[in-house]
Structures are given as structure tokens and as C-alpha cells.
């Protein structure tokens, strides 16, 4: 549920991206000519700026690069084409009716070696370094949509806290199987279980992860998870996350941003709904707007629930809405930022504009 399938970009998208000229910053700092890495040491994400005079193909990636107006206009044309040729009603039904089936197939077809460990998480979310410190005390971390364990395993490999427990959950039984069969699976600090974050309580199941109770988790990790849910499932997911978190508990969030190349290059018969698509392997993906996420996390309450997605998007961005979000929501929006990156294929001379949104939320005391 957490993986990012690789999709080849159609020729028209490739040519447009290649033609786009990324804005370049005026030179504002010097670099060591003998070691011109344009980065801090140790490396910090967000520190490599594209400046005037730089060769865009010198490095594999540049941070905080906005696409130019030509590329943005092209993206809007692509979105219009996607709406004109949506997925058929039959495909919409089969992709939405049983999404776990497609993720099970995905993990059957891809071994654990397909996925890269997210070694950057401790840097991007310092709380993960804190809970793994030697004297941190009893800490419970819940990763939702743990996939092949590429967040959980690096976390426990760097752990010095004897009282840490990581609950790595995914609604794909195949993903859980991959984790449990890994050489890094250490039940002293980790347990992997099947769990659907959007589950509805029933007589047999209270919708919380196995082995966890209300108010028992210090940190919830959500990396590319909400995008795999349909908008109709977001409210139930928020409710389950709220229930399992301790007061003051943290939510670490990262997902796809609107305008990401992955969205622009979708072709016909993949459009399920606005900003919501089916990949070629049947898995689903949604692309978020920052204001939409601020509205979602800032205003949701157990009593009022979540507004309809269309209402969320229409309301997002107004001063009155932001004030309400700050005062009334069950979560505090500590930080929510857009992460733009220009990824470069140096051999083929291709430029790929990526966009993610990263957030840090806390459950109100």
C-alpha cells in the first residue's frame, strides 16, 4: 500500500517536461570548486538550489524548483484530456470495490528488493530519532501501510531504545508476509499485522490495529497512504488514527502533491474522479493540494466528521476557514509544506518535476 510503482512517461509528456526551463535563483553563496556538491555535509534534503549559471544536468536532483508557466499550462491540458476519457463504469467498480486485491497482486509480483529503505525519515521527522534514543522510555510507533517494511526496518536497525515497539500494519496480507519473512524482522521491537486504516467497527472488530487500544500510540506514520484511499475513506481513517493516538501524539504525513509528474502523465481510461486515478497495476492514487490537507486535518472532529471532498476543496484557502481550522479541529497542524523537486536523468537529459506534501500533526490534549 505504501509503494510507488514506476510508470514510463509518454513521449508528449517527456518532450514538454524537457522543454520546460526551470526558474534559476541568482547566485547567493560560494561552493568549494574542488568538491562542488552544492549541499551541506552531512547531506540535508532541501539544500541543493538551482542557481544562475548552473548546469541542470550536473546533479540527479534539485530542491524547491517550480515548473515554469509553459509546463503548468501543459499540465492543465493533460487534466482536461483525462476528464474527457475517464475510466469506464466497469473499471471504476472493479478498482474501487476491492482495492486490497490489487495491492496483494502488487506485492506478489514485487519482491522486497524492489523497494528502497526510507533512510531519510529520521532526518525529515526528528521525532523518529528521539523515540529510538537509548533513554527514550516506552514508545509505541504505528506505521500505516507499512508495505515491505522500508520504514520500519531502518527504524529498528537504528534503535537504541529497549522499550520501543513498532507496529507495522498494511491491509495487504502479501505485504505483511514479506515483512514477517524478512531477515530484519525482530519481534522484540516490531510486529507486522494486517489492518485497514479505514475499517469500520463491527461486533467482531473494533477497527483498531491488532494489539493496540485507544490512546496507546505515540507516533503514527502515514507515508503515501491517504493517496491510496478513496476520498470516501478519509474520514474513517482519520477517526481510527485519532482513536489510537495518545493525547499529544504525533502524525507524520507525506503524500503526493497536485501537479506531480505522475499525475500529469496519466493517459485515457485511468481517471476515476477529480485528482484520483487507477494505475496500470490496478492500485489507486490521489494527488493532494496543500490547502485541502490543512482543511482536512485542521477541521476534522470525531463529532462533526469530515466534510465532503468538494466542500473541502472549495473552502480551502479562505482566511475564515484557516481560523476555524486552528481553533476547532481535533488535530493541530504543526507543519504542512510542499516539497518540490526537479529530478534529472543525466544520461537521457530528461527533467521530471515532482511534488509531494509533507505534514506534522498532533492530537490535541
DSSP codes joined into one string, 49-65: --BTT--TTSSSEEESP
pLDDT digits (tens, 9 = 90+) for 300-319: 999 988 865 444 445 445 55
Residue 293: the pLDDT is 96
What is the spatial distance between Cα 83 and Cα 111, in angstroms, rounded to a whole number? 34
Find all residues with CB under 8 Å of 235, minimum gap 6, and list them: 300, 305, 306
Cα dihedral 321, 323, 324, 325 sign: positive
Higher-pLDDT residue of 70 and 80 is 80
What is the spatial distance between Cα 252 and Cα 219, in angstroms, rounded to a whole number? 7
> Is the pLDDT confidence value at 2 over 70?
no
C-alpha cell at 330: 481535533
Higher-pLDDT residue of 23 and 342 is 342
| Three-class secondary structure of residue 313 per DSSP | helix
> Is the pLDDT confidence value at 21 over 80?
no
> Is the pLDDT confidence value at 50 over 80?
no
Alpha-carbon 193 to chain mean position: 20
Query: Could you tell me which CATH number the domain at 69-298+329-363 has?
Result: 3.40.50.150
Mean pLDDT of 18-25: 56
Q: What is the mean pLDDT of the chain?
A: 82
pLDDT band at 266 (very low <50, low <70, confident <90, very high): very high
Higher-pLDDT residue of 319 and 361 is 361
pLDDT band at 33 (very low <50, low <70, confident <90, very high): very low
pLDDT band at 52 (very low <50, low <70, confident <90, very high): low
pLDDT band at 349 (very low <50, low <70, confident <90, very high): low
Residue 203: the pLDDT is 77
Amino acid at each position: 500500500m505504501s509503494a510507488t510503482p514506476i510508470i514510463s512517461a509518454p513521449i508528449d509528456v517527456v518532450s514538454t517536461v524537457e522543454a520546460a526551463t526551470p526558474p534559476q535563483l541568482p547566485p547567493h553563496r560560494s561552493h568549494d570548486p574542488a568538491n562542488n556538491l552544492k549541499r551541506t555535509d552531512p547531506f540535508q534534503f532541501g539544500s541543493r538550489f538551482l542557481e544562475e549559471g548552473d548546469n541542470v544536468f550536473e546533479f540527479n536532483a534539485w530542491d524547491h524548483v517550480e515548473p515554469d508557466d509553459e509546463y503548468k499550462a501543459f499540465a492543465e491540458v493533460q487534466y482536461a484530456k483525462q476528464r474527457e476519457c475517464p475510466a469506464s463504469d466497469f473499471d471504476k467498480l472493479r478498482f474501487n470495490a476491492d482495492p486490497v486485491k490489487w495491492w496483494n497482486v502488487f506485492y506478489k509480483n514485487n519482491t522486497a528488493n524492489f523497494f528502497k529503505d526510507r533512510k531519510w525519515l529520521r532526518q525529515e521527522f526528528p521525532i523518529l530519532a528521539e523515540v529510538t534514543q537509548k533513554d527514550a522510555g516506552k514508545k509505541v510507533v504505528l506505521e500505516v501501510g507499512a508495505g515491505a517494511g522500508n520504514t520500519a526496518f531502518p527504524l529498528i536497525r537504528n534503535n537504541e531504545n529497549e522499550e520501543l515497539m513498532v507496529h507495522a500494519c498494511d491491509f495487504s496480507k502479501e505485504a505483511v508476509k514479506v515483512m514477517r519473512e524478512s531477515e530484519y524482522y525482530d519481534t522484540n521491537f516490531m510486529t507486522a499485522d494486517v489492518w485497514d486504516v479505514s475499517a469500520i467497527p463491527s461486533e467482531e472488530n473494533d477497527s483498531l490495529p491488532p494489539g493496540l487500544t485507544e490512546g496507546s500510540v505515540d507516533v503514527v506514520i502515514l507515508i503515501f497512504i491517504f493517496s491510496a484511499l478513496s476520498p470516501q475513506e478519509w474520514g474513517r481513517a482519520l477517526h481510527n488514527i485519532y482513536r489510537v493516538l495518545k493525547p499529544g501524539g504525533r502524525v507524520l504525513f507525506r503524500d503526493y502533491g497536485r501537479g506531480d509528474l505522475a499525475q500529469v502523465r496519466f493517459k485515457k481510461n485511468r481517471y476515476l474522479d477529480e485528482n484520483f486515478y487507477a494505475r496500470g497495476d490496478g492500485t489507486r492514487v490521489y494527488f493532494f493540494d496543500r490547502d485541502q490537507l490543512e482543511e482536512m486535518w485542521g477541521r476534522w472532529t470525531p463529532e462533526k466528521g469530515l466534510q465532503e471532498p468538494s466542500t473541502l476543496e472549495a473552502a480551502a484557502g479562505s482566511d475564515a476557514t484557516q481560523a476555524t481550522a486552528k481553533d476547532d479541529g481535533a488535530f493541530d497542524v504543526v507543519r504542512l509544506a510542499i516539497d518540490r523537486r526537479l529530478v534529472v536523468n543525466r544520461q537521457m537529459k530528461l527533467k521530471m518535476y515532482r511534488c509531494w506534501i509533507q505534514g506534522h500533526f498532533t492530537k490535541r490534549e
